[in-house]
A and B are shown apart, each in its own frame.
Chain A
Amino acid sequence: MSALSLSGVGKVFNPGSDQEVRAVHGIDLEVGRGEFVSVIGPSGCGKSTLLRLIGDLTPPSAGTVSVNGKTPARARLDRDYGMVFQSATLLDWRKVAANVELPLEIMGMGEAERSRQAAAMLDLVQLGRFAGHYPWQLSGGMQQRVAIARALAFKPSILLMDEPFGALDEMTRERMQAELLRIRAETGTTVVFVTHSIPEAVFLSTRVVIMSSRPGTITEVVDIDLPEPRSYETREDRRFFDLLTKVREGLRAVEAS
């Protein structure tokens, strides 16, 4: 059974009104357990909408989404999803550790276990020393790592990430990418990752999904057959450059149409 299975999925906002938007249309996609799938495409092509459809934050207008063989609503209630948005969305009044504990608290985990789990997650993103800080005392990159620790804290089977590194500088971004791959190797989580950076998509993924806009639909899926584990050398591999070119051409075809 695949982790995610979408067939004929479409979303129309404000149907029937003069503000009707066909955000995504006719999406068919299978994502296997432990896969890392990136979604790339011009802005406004429906990447966030696609992620929100998978995560049951908005209902589809057409087609079906199935998550670990369940409806998205069931999967959300079962806490199958960890979500990371473009902004860290940390709660100002909670210190870093308490922010990571938030989902655990909601899920009714006991206090001792909660703080142990939060400490372990903060170590994973190398922020153990900052457990007692408030979010505003951290840089943007550190806040985003807290958000990732929070999303991983309850060991979701699927991680949905919407341009999580979009606001970071290039150096921090590459370090975060390496950390994300390391964490994924340790946890075996399935990841759907929205980005508009071609190198990021190629470096991280097992497959890259290219979308076109109006209506947002999948035009091409590129298999990324780079050797595992990915490392600093990966970025200098010939194959890496070939794949960059392949994705770039796929995107150019989309933007020309």
Chain B
Amino acid sequence: MLYHRLPAIGIFVGGLIVWEGVVRAFDIKGFILPAPTAIAATFSAETADLLTAGAGTFSTALAGLLLGGALAVLMALAAARWRFVRDGALPFAIAANSTPIIVLAPIANSWFGLRSPFASIFVVAILVFFPVMINLVRGLLSVEASEVELMESYAAGRLTTLWKLQLPNATPYLFSALKVAAALSLIGAIVKEFFGGSQDRLGQYITTKAGLLQFEEAWAAIVLASIFGIVLYNVVVLIERRVIPWHVSVRNV
């Protein structure tokens, strides 16, 4: 396991060393690109503020992800069960999924108020809703005709077929959507904060510090946001391994 990680670790450490070396050798100014050591020093000096901001942003991102994900699951189940729901809702969902929904951020601020956490949760929820729903519907419907006939031969009802065939069939689709949604949720939360909101949030922290030309601080916040993103993604991956150990993407051959 560790052996397979060595190349990635090598590239990571090597990248940091090259970054540090380039910044020092060419005397690059901090407002263009601070050195990793400078960012690390700022990180430890500003830990308390950063973690407060990070916790606020992360919790709204998580709340939005859970809300949007739950609504998407309900909607997808309805769309799989009733054809008219599918025919009515899916074209709009696909259309919405190809528009940059994040542009709703300033509008959400005016709807919910700048300081309301619901503005962030709303933006994140709507951002993750469409990809999760569309993927889940695809998974629910992409069952083999022979599997459906098998269920019919047992005189299984619609709900039984949904529960025992379609839903398990769709879980790999759900997880690949959730991995995308995990990243989207942090993007949504932070970009929404760029447009205003509570001061102790990562988005506001980054814009404020950048405005004050304190780029080490801004970079420290960017690093923290990245760490949150990576952690969230890996939590989804861990859950996926537990829930679908049978799937090709997970099984140990």
Closest to A151 in B: B153
Chain B positions within 8 Å of A94 at CB level: 246
Are B146 and A102 in contact (CB-based, < 8 A)?
A: no
Chain A positions within 8 Å of B146 at CB level: 85, 87, 89
With known contacts A57-B152, A89-B150, A92-B247, A106–B144 Cβ distance under 8 A: no
Are A55 and B153 in contact (CB-based, < 8 A)?
A: yes
Number of residues of chain B lying within 8 A (CB) of chain A: 21
Are B168 and A103 in contact (CB-based, < 8 A)?
A: no
With known contacts A87-B146, A89-B146, A91-B165, A106–B153 Cβ distance under 8 A: no
Closest to A73 in B: B155
From the candidates A82, A102, A134, name the one contacting B246 in the complex (CB within 8 A): A134
Count of A-B contacts judged by CB separation below 8 Å: 50
With known contacts A85-B146, A89-B150, A134-B246, A76–B164 Cβ distance under 8 A: no
Closest to B155 in A: A77
Tell me the chain A residues, 107-143 only, with Cβ under 8 Å from chain B. Answer: 107, 134, 136
With known contacts A57-B149, A92-B246, A93-B246, A105–B155 Cβ distance under 8 A: no
Are B251 and A136 in contact (CB-based, < 8 A)?
A: yes
Number of residues of chain A lying within 8 A (CB) of chain B: 22
With known contacts A81-B153, A105-B164, A106-B164, A89–B147 Cβ distance under 8 A: yes
User: Contact flags (1/0) for B144-178 with A, using CB distance below 8 Å?
Assistant: 10110111111110001000110011010000000
Interface of A is mostly: loop
From the candidates A76, A87, A91, A93, name the one contacting B155 in the complex (CB within 8 A): A76
Are A103 and B246 in contact (CB-based, < 8 A)?
A: no
Are A91 and B147 in contact (CB-based, < 8 A)?
A: yes
From the candidates A85, A93, A107, A134, name the one contacting B154 in the complex (CB within 8 A): A107
Judged by a CB distance under 8 angstroms, whether B93 is at the interface is no
Are B165 and A106 in contact (CB-based, < 8 A)?
A: no
Interface of B is mostly: helix
What CA separation (Å) do A82 and B153 show in the bound complex? 7
What CA separation (Å) do A55 and B153 show in the bound complex? 7
With known contacts A93-B168, A93-B246, A57–B153 Cβ distance under 8 A: yes
User: Contact flags (1/0) for A214-257 with B, using CB distance below 8 Å?
Assistant: 00000000000000000000000000000000000000000000
Chain B positions within 8 Å of A57 at CB level: 149, 152-153
Chain A positions within 8 Å of B251 at CB level: 134, 136
Chain A positions within 8 Å of B151 at CB level: 106
User: Contact flags (1/0) for A179-194 with B, using CB distance below 8 Å?
Assistant: 0000000000000000
Judged by a CB distance under 8 angstroms, whether A83 is at the interface is yes
Chain B positions within 8 Å of A81 at CB level: 153
Are A103 and B154 in contact (CB-based, < 8 A)?
A: yes
Closest to B150 in A: A89
Judged by a CB distance under 8 angstroms, whether A79 is at the interface is yes
From the candidates B144, B149, B154, B247, name the one contacting A79 in the complex (CB within 8 A): B154
Chain A positions within 8 Å of B165 at CB level: 91
Closest to B243 in A: A93
In the complex, given contacts A55-B153, A92-B246, what are 5 additional A-B residue pairs having Cβ atoms less than 8 angstroms apart?
A57-B149, A76-B153, A89-B146, A89-B150, A93-B169
Chain A residues in the interface with B (C-beta under 8 A):
55, 57, 76-77, 79, 81-83, 85, 87, 89, 91-94, 102-103, 105-107, 134, 136
Chosen A-B contacts, 20 in total, with CB atoms closer than 8 Å, are A55-B153, A76-B152, A76-B153, A76-B155, A81-B153, A82-B153, A83-B149, A83-B153, A89-B150, A91-B147, A91-B165, A92-B246, A93-B168, A93-B169, A94-B246, A105-B164, A106-B155, A106-B164, A107-B154, A134-B251
